[in-house]
Amino acid sequence: MAKQIITVIKGDGIGPSIIDSALEILNAAGCDFEYEFVDAGLTALENTGELLPQATIDAIAKNKITLKGPLTTPVGEGFTSINVTLRKKFNLYANVRPVVSFEGTKARYEDIDIITVRENTQGMYSGLGQVVSEDGSEAEAMSKITREGAQKIAVFAYELARRENRKKVTIVHKANILKSTSGLFLKVAREVAALYPDIETAEMIVDAACMKLVMTPEEFDVIVTTNLFGDILSDLCAGLVGGLGMAPGANIGEDAAIFEAVHGSAPDIAGKNLANPTSVILASIQMLEHLGMGDTAERIRNAVADVIKTGDRTTRDLGGNHGTTDFTQAVIERL
């Protein structure tokens, strides 16, 4: 059988070191992948003059599966976010961000298990219609939700809930104020919910959801929400399990999927061997599950869990005093 080819974008800042860690672990776990390395972000801008070169787009389209490090989008200067561009270009409509407690982290809770399913191409986050008046006194942006987009993400969330034996989906919205966009999202999500009587449905306004996630996170199982709310809520959820170093994300479409850490390129700790690679390792675990390699995924998850539980060579954010490379070795020794 032909080898599975994975497109790898190492990314900017801490990206190369955490991606190297994930690849070393995949190789040590016996994954017989072939990797096609391409650039995006600042690295690509420096090498090719473009933030998102055509060769990168072609590789993502050809291989269909991509593992990606965080990318730095220069602030202002007219640059569009590469992540937003990739999500739209490949119609990666579902962003799946699970957070699970690992014993041994410095988190406030011990039993968190929440998946945020975020609509990934529409709404306020999509960057549509961003205009600043010439004199800089007014700015506007557009938010657009379609029935089809809302329906697809709601079906995705309920199907995921059913597949993973989850009990409840919470629809998070702001339909009381954003009556058109959030209103349509809620209406369509309710219609979809009615088709899944085996799964409990709750509805929650986004501000209340933030408060409840902090106070009573056990109320949540699967969250389905629009793009911007999902972006914010999933970082909040990362905070429940020990921070951004612990949160992966999968961007799923019909023709391609991109797996990445939720966090960014963390320029403050880049090049210092300080980054916790767990998020991107967990993203590679999501990738293995997507490829039907659940057993290998489980082996890697158990190895990571044991390193964190025992505190053997953990990184600073996990309470340890070791670097990315030591952490990686500790995981590999357990495989």
Residues annotated as part of the active site: 125, 174, 207, 231, 235
Which residue's CB is nearer to ligand NAP, number 201 or number 251?
A: 251
CA distance 213 to 215: 6
DSSP letter string over 266-331? -GGGTTTT----HHHHHHHHHHHHHTT-HHHHHHHHHHHHHHHHHTTT-BGGGT--B-HHHHHHHH
Which residue's CB is nearer to ligand NAP, number 223 or number 238?
A: 238
Q: In whole angstroms, how large is the CA radius of gyration of the chain? A: 20
CB of 317 to ligand NAP, least distance (A): 4
For residue 195, give the DSSP letter: T
Q: Which residues bind ligand NAP (CB under 6 A)?
A: 14, 70-73, 83, 244-245, 260, 263-269, 275-276, 279, 317
Which residue's CB is nearer to ligand NAP, number 12 or number 221?
A: 12
CA distance 36 to 15: 16
Do 144 and 226 contact (CB within 8 A), yes or no?
no
Q: Answer positive or negative: Cα dihedral of 306, 101, 93, 9.
A: negative
CB of 331 to ligand NAP, least distance (A): 14
Half-sphere exposure of 321 (CA within 13 A, CB side): 0
Phi, psi of 110 (to 5 degrees): -115, -20
CB of 256 to ligand NAP, least distance (A): 16
| Helices and strands of the chain, counted as H and E runs | 11, 12
Half-sphere exposure of 112 (CA within 13 A, CB side): 31
For residue 127, give the DSSP letter: -
CB of 188 to ligand NAP, least distance (A): 27
DSSP letter string over 135-175? TSS-EE------HHHHHHHHHHHHHHHHHTT--EEEEEE-T
CA distance 276 to 324: 6
Which residue's CB is nearer to ligand NAP, number 161 or number 233?
A: 233
CB of 303 to ligand NAP, least distance (A): 18
CB of 276 to ligand NAP, least distance (A): 4
Which residue's CB is nearer to ligand NAP, number 181 or number 251?
A: 251
Looking at beta carbons, which residue is closest to ligand NAP? Answer: 264
Which residue's CB is nearer to ligand NAP, number 31 or number 244?
A: 244
CA distance 33 to 38: 16
Q: Is 262 helix (H, G, I), strand (E, B) or coil?
A: coil
Which residue's CB is nearer to ligand NAP, number 73 or number 182?
A: 73
CB of 151 to ligand NAP, least distance (A): 26
